[in-house]
Amino acid sequence: MEFIAPVDAVFLLAESREQPMHVGALQLFEPPEGAGDDFAAQVHDKLLGRTDVDPRFRKHPATIFGAPQMAWTYAEEVELDYHVRRLALPGPGRMHQLVDLASGLHSSLLDRHRPLWEFHLIEGLADGRFALYSKMHHALIDGVSAQRLLRRTLTSDPASSATLVPWHLPRGRRRAATGAGGAARNLVSAAASGASLLRAARTALLGQQLSLPFAAPRTMFNVPIGGARRSAVRSWSLDRLQQVKKATGSTLNDVVLTMAAGALRRYLIERDALPDKPLIAMVPMSLRGEDDDDTNGVKVGAVLCNLGTDIADPLDRLQVVSASMRDGKDIYRTLSSNQTMALSALMLSPLALNLVPALISWTNPTFNIVISNVPGPREPMYWNGARLDASYPLSIPFDGQAVNITLTSNADNLDFGLVGCRRSVPQLPRLLDHLESSLAELERAAV
């Protein structure tokens, strides 16, 4: 038994039927040439044969001192045919049916009496492809780490038929401190650098170089949410966004954020719900280095970004987004990882009020939406000889934050996954159309 790190425990404490706290992914695969109709069934049998399960995939919350969110315990046996399931779509096997199925799977809570993860192999698409929907609790792993873990199951060799599974992978080169001892050392490190943290907080909060908490306007997204989810997915050519980046001298993430800002502006105008003040996005920032292979727990900071949704001109909006992100990153560059975590907690502490649904109707939102860009592979990847066509991340809407936009790179594409409260965000797929219109608008103005 080991104590749960405080930042990980938050995701267990905040979870409810209305607010599941797992991250997910919907991966699409093209079977290898000559594969039979039973290829997906063969893959499923291989998965069930990988019975060695790493400790992190045996973890579930234990009750200690009467509290069920303070410590992890480890299951002695993992019932793989519960955690790894095979499903089939009904005819005619359209893409929207797959996304609807993933939406339902993403709406349900993970069983806390079992290890906090599930994988669903889904066949029956009319074009012959199959999908893998996975979900892991955010207390167990953050979104960036989950993407890295899934990426480590893939290979760039199309001839490889090795069956790598997330629950049993070779150990990474480095291990971060874990458990109570590691958490204590992190707290001591953060406390020892309190002076620089206070200086950073003063610059951020008083200098207004970051979008301030409580500066976000109230929107239709900032309401109490229900437990049912709707998902929407689409891929865009990375080259299109790179062309805008080169023409404007901005970063790729700035272009992504401006593309999302334009889509949100159009969506809200369509519903006569666009506020006069600009929307504020929380942009997660991984604190893991590229060579940090430890994927336990959560290591994520946050930048608050002015999306410029009150600005009609797309290039002017891009300038506002770029300046806001640049100022936010400048603050964090002066801090250690522990200081960054502490400052992120300081910046986002008002969000804790949103854990009490009754308060959401009268407290100002800390930010309006989470938009996360997770780096992925830049070359074609394969799994069991099947080519990865798309990898759509599906993240977490929070109470008071009814929609989430997450994307990841996959070879020559950017794969967007949108998740919204089914009750609070009507016609979520319309945001996909608006993302395309927003990107086309940027291209016309810049390229």
Active site residue ranges: 138
- CA 305 to CA 215: how far, in whole Å? 11
Q: What is the dihedral of CA 109, 113, 118, 122, to 10 degrees?
A: -80
- CA 130 to CA 109: how far, in whole Å? 24
- CA 116 to CA 104: how far, in whole Å? 17
Q: Tell me the CB-side half-sphere exposure of residue 350, using CA atoms within 13 A.
A: 16
- CA 273 to CA 287: how far, in whole Å? 35
In this structure, are strands 130-137 and 22-30 parallel, antiparallel, or unpaired? antiparallel
| Residues sharing a CB contact under 8 Å with residue 404, sequence separation 6 or more, in sequence order | 369, 370, 371, 372, 395, 396, 397, 418, 419, 420
- CA 372 to CA 253: how far, in whole Å? 9
The answer to whether 309 and 261 have CB atoms below 8 angstroms apart is yes
Residue 28 to residues 25, 100, 233, 410, Cα–Cα distance (Å) = 10, 15, 11, 11
